[in-house]
Amino acid sequence: MPGLVFDTHKFIRRLRESGIEEKHAEAIVEAFQAAQSEMQPVTRDYFDVKLKSEIESAKSDLIKWVAGLLIAQAALVAALLKLFTH
């Protein structure tokens, strides 16, 4: 997942225009970039774990449905055999 792209020079310029010293503005931009880059792997990992969880849940539900249908089919075949063989 790509990170947020922004113009750092424009960001610094806006901070400077609001009265923040240049070295502080640069530090703020660097801190913002660091926080953003640290956030991305966590977000990606979260979505990977969430997706795997959803897949496992769907797989479990599908197995339950198939097993239930197989049991119902076997019961139906047994009932039909009993009905038509006597």
- Tell me the pTM: 0.47
pLDDT of residue 33: 86
Task: Judge whether 25 and 18 are in contact, CB under 8 Å.
Answer: no
pLDDT tens digit string along 33-58?
A: 888 877 766 678 888 999 999 999 99
Show the tokens assigned to 30.
């660097």
pLDDT tens digit string along 24-36?
A: 999 999 998 888 8
